[in-house]
């Protein structure tokens, strides 16, 4: 970060892996949101690595309750601030992984968005349950190998595509839904800042490559995050009240192979018979993204 970069509010000294995506995501989120922020953090790597009692990396007020209730906890924080006359000065940001956001916490999050609480939810999507040892979630992409979707004699790995979470959140009538990536820190900070300044429930879905879970060198986190965008497997866009208003263009999309080759979770596609056909299916997803979001 340059000397002019905004201050962050999560200190070093936590026990995250070298190259940890959650640490990047939390850092960029708070750089965007600023110090007058209460953070709600569902169970996951970020919570475990940042708060080993009696230590805490958080320089903003922070609450972790359970795995599946961040939406409701944030609702309560917001309601309490309103009732106590403190809401005008304080922002609320919930930040959780793909499991706590898209799977077990979806009901709670949906309720909070439907009720229109004024807070921002940031999903750090590293595409599997990393804290418990790389099990599949509904954020896991097609054909990825996880410990619960291993490739085998009759399987190429995860049989389903990623859940389209931003569309679900936009369908709640959210004034602002955006996708971003830790590979683009300025983009992420700008979108978080914008989201926290808009009144109402806003949602940021950040793509977060996990060195341990995806199988790549700890120095490559941001590089691989960029590759996902450059291959059009992770489109970056903003939506206001359900309409796409901004798209990050990709001038010369790279073939998905370049992204897949960097990660152990897709290694089997390059060694198994029929893997090339599977890679074509993944390329089709990227091609669909290019067309659907107008990435070029």
Partner 1 sequence: MINPAYKKKMVVVEGSYAVAHAAKVCRPNVISAYPITPQTHIVEDLSQFIADGEIPNCEYINVEAEFSAISALIGASAVGARTYSATTSQGLLLMHEALFNTSGMRLPVVMTVANRAISAPINIWNDHQDAIAQRDTGWIQLYVEDVQEACDTLPQLYKIAEDNEIMVPGMVCMDGFILSHVYEPVVLLEQELTDNFLPPFQPDDILDPEDPKTFGAFAAPDTYEEFRYLHEQAMQKALPKIEAVAKEFEEVFGRYHGGLIDGYMLDDAEIIIMSMGSILGTVKDVVDEYRAKGEKIGVLKVRSFRPFPKEQICEAVKNAHAVVVLDKNISIGTNEGALFTETKSCLYNSKVRVPVIGYTIGHGGRDIRVESIAKVIEKTKKVAKSGITVESQFLDLKEELL
Q: Which residues bind partner 1 (CB under 8 A)?
A: 35-38, 40, 47-48, 51-54, 56, 58-66, 68-69, 71-86, 89-90, 107-108, 110-112, 114-115
Residue 90 · residue 81 · CB < 8 Å: yes
Residue 131 · residue 98 · CB < 8 Å: no
The least distance separating partner 1 from the CB of residue 104, rounded to whole angstroms, comes to 11
Complex with partner 1: residue 68 or 238, whichever CB lies closer: 68
The least distance separating partner 1 from the CB of residue 177, rounded to whole angstroms, comes to 20
Complex with partner 1: residue 101 or 231, whichever CB lies closer: 101
Residue 27 · residue 57 · CB < 8 Å: no
The least distance separating partner 1 from the CB of residue 97, rounded to whole angstroms, comes to 15
Complex with partner 1: residue 90 or 222, whichever CB lies closer: 90
Complex with partner 1: residue 33 or 227, whichever CB lies closer: 33
The least distance separating partner 1 from the CB of residue 133, rounded to whole angstroms, comes to 17
The least distance separating partner 1 from the CB of residue 114, rounded to whole angstroms, comes to 7
Complex with partner 1: residue 61 or 152, whichever CB lies closer: 61
> What is the C-alpha separation between 98 and 107, in angstroms, rounded?
14
- Structure tokens of 222? 């941001």
Helix (H, G, I), strand (E, B) or coil at 42: coil
Which among 110, 225, 112, 113 is positioned nearest to 179, based on CA atoms?
A: 225
Complex with partner 1: residue 110 or 135, whichever CB lies closer: 110
DSSP string covering 226-279: HHHHHTTSS--EEEETTEEEEE---SSPPPHHHHHTT-GGGGGGGTSTTHHHHH
Residue 198 · residue 237 · CB < 8 Å: no
The least distance separating partner 1 from the CB of residue 213, rounded to whole angstroms, comes to 20
> What is the C-alpha separation between 42 and 26, in angstroms, rounded?
13
The least distance separating partner 1 from the CB of residue 73, rounded to whole angstroms, comes to 4
Complex with partner 1: residue 69 or 181, whichever CB lies closer: 69
> What is the C-alpha separation between 142 and 136, in angstroms, rounded?
11
DSSP letter at 67? S
């Amino acid at each position: 970060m340059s000397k002019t970069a905004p201050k962050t509010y999560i200190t070093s000294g936590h026990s995250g892996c070298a190259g940890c995506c959650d640490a990047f995501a939390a850092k960029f989120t708070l750089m965007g949101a600023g110090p007058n922020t209460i953070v709600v953090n569902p169970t996951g790597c970020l919570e475990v690595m940042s708060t080993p009692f009696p230590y805490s990396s958080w320089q903003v007020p922070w609450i972790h309750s359970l795995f599946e209730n961040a939406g409701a906890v944030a609702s309560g924080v917001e309601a309490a601030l309103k009732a106590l006359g403190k809401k005008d000065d304080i922002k609320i940001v919930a930040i959780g992984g793909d499991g706590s956001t898209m799977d077990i916490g979806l009901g709670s999050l949906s309720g909070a968005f439907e009720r229109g609480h004024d807070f921002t939810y940031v999903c750090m999507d590293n595409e599997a349950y990393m804290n418990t040892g790389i099990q599949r979630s509904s954020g896991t992409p097609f054909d990825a190998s996880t410990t619960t979707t291993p490739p085998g004699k009759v399987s190429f790995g995860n049989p389903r595509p990623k859940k389209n979470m931003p569309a679900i959140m936009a369908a709640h009538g959210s004034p602002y839904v955006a996708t971003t990536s830790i590979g683009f820190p300025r983009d992420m900070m700008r979108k978080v800042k914008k989201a926290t300044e808009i009144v109402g429930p806003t949602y940021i879905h950040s793509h977060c490559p996990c060195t341990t879970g995806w199988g790549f060198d700890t120095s490559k986190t941001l590089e691989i995050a960029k590759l996902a965008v450059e291959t059009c497997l992770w489109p970056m866009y903003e939506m206001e009240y359900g309409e796409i208003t901004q798209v990050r263009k990709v001038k010369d999309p790279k073939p998905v192979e370049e992204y897949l080759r960097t990660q152990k979770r897709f290694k089997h596609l390059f060694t198994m018979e029929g893997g090339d056909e599977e890679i074509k299916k993944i390329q089709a997803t990227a091609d669909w993204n290019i067309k659907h979001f107008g990435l070029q």
